[in-house]
Amino acid sequence: MPTVYDVARLAGVSTATVSRVMRGSDLVRPDTRARVLAVIDEVGFVPDASAQGLSRRRKDIIGLVALERGVDETDIERDGLLFVDQLVHAVEAVLRGTGCSLLLSFGRNGEPFQGRIRALSGKVDGLLVVEDAMPAAQLRALSRRLPVVAIAASPGEGGLDAVRVDNAGGMQALAAHLATGHGYRRLGFAGGPPDAPDAVERLAAFAAAARARPGCTVDVVPGGDFSEASGRTAARVLLSREAVPEAVACANDQMAIGVIRELQRSGIRVPADVAVTGFDNIFPGRVVDPPLTTVGQPFRELGARATTRLLERIAGSEAQPRADVLPTELVIRRSCGCPVTPSPAT
């Protein structure tokens, strides 16, 4: 593994010059530069990022820590991941332009995740924390040591950069559509993990919006985990009730898909007998039958905004911490009872 010293010796220059050539130039005579570049190319020199990081006090790596949801221990149900996967791609896309790389770390709640985050924090220039992947206190402590941007975290956290989506707005629009648009009165809700801020907000907003309408009731089934399986479970609970709801909203799309499939397995028609809706707008929701009415969230923008902000902080921005809320959008398809949409490729 060649080092700057090797290159310097071979090119007959000092390490300073090699370094200057590497970092896009400074003042190096063209022929010197050419000579150095030739040697670099010949010996296949690649600077050691550790040494660079140490010397420049900057690692050009940011970390993303997230909870791995809806993946069960046996690894069979691999369907809960779409949200974080989308995010990862969005973040990576932004980083692509910069020299920065993305370090990933997933945890399942209950695990001793904290130690890993600690260690990880030594490897990065800044951290993206998804949901409440760590206790608020620790998050604050962390954010004193390095730039941190929270994604989809609990709104409570002040004094911290954060980006989230408008869960409440989306759910209100959805509740209006179901109650006012379709006239459903007996509503149900398949709730997500109590430790997922998004899930909590969605549940609260939907229930509040629905109950605010005269005659509307909401039968809440809490305790899902964002997975399809937990949607099925919720459906079974709802089916066991005296009065099965006319429409069931869900904490996310996977759960909605689980609800749909479980209902169908029991011979119930969706949406004719029971309407079902999700949240997220991920690919499988377009594919399921009936296509899922849902609230779309701007994954791309969510990841991009958070990443951009983090990079600014790393670059030294001292601006006031901001908590951005990105708009969500009601995506009407058929599972809510709306007629076929004639869109070309939905």
Residue 327 falls in which region: left (phi positive, over 0), alpha (psi -120 to 50) or beta:
beta
Residue 47 or 222 with smaller CB distance to DNA: 47
- How many alpha carbons fall within 13 Å on the CB side of residue 30? 0
Eight-class DSSP state of 240: T
Which one of DNA, its own copies, none is in contact with 27 (Cβ closer than 5 to 8 A by kind)? DNA
d(CA 335, CA 271): 5
Residue 5 or 283 with smaller CB distance to its own copies: 283
Q: Which of 211, 214, 278, 266 is nearest to 241 (CA)?
A: 266
Minimal distance in Å, beta carbon 39 to DNA? 12
38 near its own copies (CB under 8 A): no
Which one of DNA, its own copies, none is in contact with 29 (Cβ closer than 5 to 8 A by kind)? DNA
Residue ranges binding DNA (CB under 7 A): 1-5, 12-20, 22-23, 26-29, 32-33, 45, 47-48, 51-52, 54-57
Asked whether 163 and 302 are in contact (CB, 8 A), the reply is yes
Of the candidate residues 35, 177, 261, 309, the single one contacting its own copies (CB under 8 A): 261
Of the candidate residues 47, 155, 181, 321, the single one contacting its own copies (CB under 8 A): 47
Residue 71 or 210 with smaller CB distance to its own copies: 71
85 near its own copies (CB under 8 A): yes
The footprint of its own copies on residues 104-123 (CB under 8 A) is: 104-106, 116, 118-123
Of the candidate residues 20, 35, 59, 69, the single one contacting its own copies (CB under 8 A): 59
Beta bridge partners of 190: 221, 250
Task: Report how far apart, in Å, the C-alpha atoms of 196 and of each of 8, 37, 113, 192, 224 are.
Answer: 54, 52, 16, 7, 10
Q: Which of 176, 180, 194, 34 is nearest to 109 (CA)?
A: 194
d(CA 167, CA 171): 6
Which one of its own copies, DNA, none is in contact with 19 (Cβ closer than 5 to 8 A by kind)? DNA
Binding piece for its own copies, criterion CB under 8 A, among 72-80, 159-167, 240-248, 270-278: 72-80
Counting other chains too, the contacts that 281-286 makes at CB distance below 8 Å and 24 or more residues apart are 281/253, 281/331, 282/82, 282/83, 282/86, 282/253, 282/254, 283/82, 284/79, 284/82, 284/253, 284/254, 284/257, 285/253, 285/256, 285/257, 285/333, 286/333, 286/346
Minimal distance in Å, beta carbon 21 to DNA? 9
Of the candidate residues 169, 223, 284, 321, the single one contacting its own copies (CB under 8 A): 284
Minimal distance in Å, beta carbon 195 to its own copies? 20
Which one of DNA, its own copies, none is in contact with 229 (Cβ closer than 5 to 8 A by kind)? its own copies
Q: How many CB atoms lie within 10 A of CB 237?
A: 15
Q: Which of 150, 151, 169, 171 is nearest to 159 (CA)?
A: 150
Residue 58 or 186 with smaller CB distance to its own copies: 58
d(CA 33, CA 131): 48
Q: For residue 135, what are its two tokens?
A: 């206790």
61 near its own copies (CB under 8 A): yes
Residue 37 or 103 with smaller CB distance to its own copies: 103
Q: For residue 3, what are its two tokens?
A: 């080092």
42: part of which helix (H) or strand (E)?
A: helix 30-43
Residue 146 or 208 with smaller CB distance to its own copies: 146
- Interface positions with its own copies (CB under 8 A): 1, 44, 46-54, 59-61, 63, 68, 71, 75, 78-79, 81, 85-86, 88-89, 92-93, 96, 99, 101-106, 116, 118-123, 141, 144-145, 228-229, 232, 257, 261, 282-284, 287-289, 299-300, 345
